[in-house]
Amino acid sequence: MAKTNQIGLATKDTQVLAMGLNDLLANYQIFYMNARAFHWNIKGEKFFELHLKFEEIYTDALVKVDEIAERILTLGYTPLHSFSDYIEHSTIKEYKNISDGFKAVEAVLEGYKVLLIKERNILKVSGEADDEGTNALMSDYIREQEKLVWMYTSFLK
């Protein structure tokens, strides 16, 4: 086995990073599907506001799913690509039939909490591996999501 991959990173490090990124990918896929369902099923007084917000969330998650999968490929590994794998590996739970806006926002916040913990772990490993590409990706995600957590938490108060 080569000691470095095609972009010059140690294969022992990239294997760990790819595993972490695949775990993150699985969680993002479930997060995406949850946000999509909230968008479709939301009802009540805050319908128009939350319908748009959930669309923003799932659109952003879809972009991140692609970025994560492509980063895994860049590191020289195969991204998970079946829903059975996503369900098996995801810490984020699958939500069904939620139409209450406040319950949906609480579920979104729970999802962000899981994602942030996973992203911070990947950030630590990528920093130790001198993997600036993965590091930058995680830093951007964390910064964006911390602000969103503040905003959605404010909505619930």
Q: Please indicate, yes or no, if residue 137 is contained in any of the structural domains.
A: yes
Q: Please indicate, yes or no, if residue 19 is contained in any of the structural domains.
A: yes
Dmax (CA) for the chain in angstroms is 59
Token output for 53: 């917000």
- Which pLDDT value is given to residue 63? 98
Distance of CA 37 to the CA centre of its chain: 16
Domain that holds residue 54: 11-156
DSSP state at residue 130: T
Residue 67 binned pLDDT confidence (cut-offs 50, 70, 90): very high
Distance of CA 61 to the CA centre of its chain: 6
Whether the full predicted model's pTM is greater than 0.85, yes or no, is yes
Token output for 92: 């984020």
Q: Please indicate, yes or no, if residue 2 is contained in any of the structural domains.
A: no
Q: Please indicate, yes or no, if residue 103 is contained in any of the structural domains.
A: yes
Q: Can you give the CATH number for the domain in which 70 is found?
A: 1.20.1260.10
Q: What is the pLDDT of residues 23-66, one digit of tens each?
A: 999 999 999 999 999 999 999 999 999 999 999 999 999 999 99
Q: What is the pLDDT of residues 86-107, one digit of tens each?
A: 999 999 999 999 999 999 999 9
* Contacts (Cβ under 8 Å, ≥6 apart) of 110: 92, 93
Query: How many domains does the chain contain in total?
Result: 1
Q: Whole-angstrom Cα distance, residue 20 to residue 89?
A: 11
Q: Please indicate, yes or no, if residue 135 is contained in any of the structural domains.
A: yes
